[in-house]
Structure 1
Amino acid sequence: MRSVLPLLVATLVVAVTAFSAGADAAWTPIANPRSLVIRQIGNFAVIVYSNADPRKFRPLALVSVVRGETQPAGTGVTDYRLVLNVRNTATGSTGLYQCVVRGRLGSRATTWELRSFVVYKQAI
């Protein structure tokens, strides 16, 4: 049993190191935020946010993805931080929103998660 203990400790250290490296990963700019895949992720965020409260439908539609960044979230999952130009279809007004979506490219829509959706405030 003693010979297994060092192997178990070494495995645990490697696992913790790998997890913490993924958790501290920096955001990387998306080279083409207007690509089809990134627009689909932005559209997903707008649809989910619009329908989040069943008592209060928000008539929003994606106009464009202004910019975006990615960050690995572990086991092939990626966080996408996007700045979206969104139109209120009831009033015609537009505004910028920042969202964070977590998912794995090529997976089903049910595995994707909208983590945040807030009005975008540019740094001064």
Structure 2
Amino acid sequence: MMRRSVLPLLVAALIAVAAFSAAGADAAWTPIGNPRSLVIRQIGNFAVIVYSNADPRKPRPLALVDVVRGETQPAGSGVTDYRLVLNVRNTATGSTGLYQCVVRGKPGSRATTWELHGFVQYNKQAAV
């Protein structure tokens, strides 16, 4: 008898998750008006630090120079996805390059709730 009462709840939960995921996937990216604002720079800096230290045996000597541009997309429950183009300097060589990152987080929340979802060299032709 217990299995029958749990099954409808499980199905309802799966439907809710699917609906939540579909709503976030269809949301449009909105350009960030001021990509050089303090909050956006902090998000860019977070991305560079996490990427630089992803492999503790071989840290990358990278530092954020500037946020070139960015877009946001709601991910649900007050969480936002940030897609940023970053100008990044290799502090060992002095060379700079453009990278695109995707960061998910909730403004005003703890740093431990933020996630880096991607960090790749920026290719203007391949960029979405």
Please tell me the TM-score bracket, short chain as reference: 0.7 to 0.9
2:72 is equivalent to residue 70 of structure 1: yes
Report the CA distance between 1:27 and its aligned residue. 0.5
- Between the aligned partners of 2:63 and 2:17, the Cα distance in structure 1 is 41
Distance change in 2, residues 1:55/1:16 (3 Å):
closer
**C-alpha distance after superposition, 1:87-124 (max 9, x if no partner):** 00000000000000000000000000000000000128
Partner of 2:4: none
Moved over 6 A (4+): none
- Between the aligned partners of 2:117 and 2:33, the Cα distance in structure 1 is 22
**C-alpha distance after superposition, 1:25-56 (max 9, x if no partner):** 01100000000000000000000000000111
Q: Percent of aligned pairs with the same residue?
A: 84
1:1-124 alignment runs, 5 A limit:
15=16, 19=20, 20-123=22-125
- Between the aligned partners of 1:56 and 1:119, the Cα distance in structure 2 is 18
Tell me which amino acid in the other structure corresponds to 2:54.
A
Over aligned residue pairs, what C-alpha RMSD do you find? 2.0
Tell me which amino acid in the other structure corresponds to 2:80.
T
Structure 2, unmatched stretches of 5+, are: 1-8
Structure 1, unmatched stretches of 5+, are: 1-7
**C-alpha distance after superposition, 1:3-46 (max 9, x if no partner):** xxxxx9xx98x957962233210110000000000000000000
So what's the TM-score if we normalise by structure 1? 0.85
Count of matched residue positions in the alignment of Structure 1 and Structure 2: 114
Tell me which amino acid in the other structure corresponds to 1:76.
G
- Between the aligned partners of 1:33 and 1:102, the Cα distance in structure 2 is 16
